[in-house]
Amino acid sequence: MPFADREKQLEYWRKYGLSKRRATKNSYYQKWYSENRDSVLERNRRWRKENKYRSQSNTIAYRKIAIGLLLERDGHNCGVCGQPLNGDAQTDHIVPRCIGGKDMSTNLRLAHRLCNIRRERKFYE
């Protein structure tokens, strides 16, 4: 980021009461990143290589296909409440990803957006 833009950003933060500590913290991380850019990029490449299953399921085409197959499999019903699905369907992980659940069809089901939010990070009961 050019110096002039950085000054404008600091001025904006001061004007709207954002902390100076935050500004110095961000400048520290920008400096550190510019000095260690190669190691950061290598670490990111290594993570993507080790976690391919996470990056493959993020394309829009894949999600459309997955939702279509799940709709067909589950009979257009919510996996949580059992009511018919309308336009607000989301993919729900039976075993949440944060607990180690995978993006496999056996671990996925469709749910209403609100049902999925209410369920949070709980196992399917």
The Cα 65–Cα 61 span in angstroms is 6
- Average pLDDT over every residue of 26-46: 87
Q: What is the pLDDT at residue 59?
A: 67
For residue 41, being part of any structural domain is answered with yes
Same-domain pairing of 28 and 70? no
pTM of the model: 0.49
Find the domain containing 28 and state its range: 3-50
For residue 124, being part of any structural domain is answered with no
Same-domain pairing of 34 and 71? no
For residue 125, being part of any structural domain is answered with no
- Average pLDDT over every residue of 38-60: 77
Does the pLDDT value for residue 42 go beyond 90? yes
For residue 99, being part of any structural domain is answered with yes
For residue 62, being part of any structural domain is answered with yes
- Average pLDDT over every residue of 69-82: 88
For residue 100, being part of any structural domain is answered with yes
Same-domain pairing of 45 and 88? no
Same-domain pairing of 62 and 111? yes
Same-domain pairing of 28 and 62? no
* Nearest residue to 67 (alpha-carbon basis) of 38, 23, 105, 120: 105
Sorted by sequence, the CB contacts under 8 Å of residue 96 that are 6+ apart come out as 121, 122, 123
For residue 32, being part of any structural domain is answered with yes
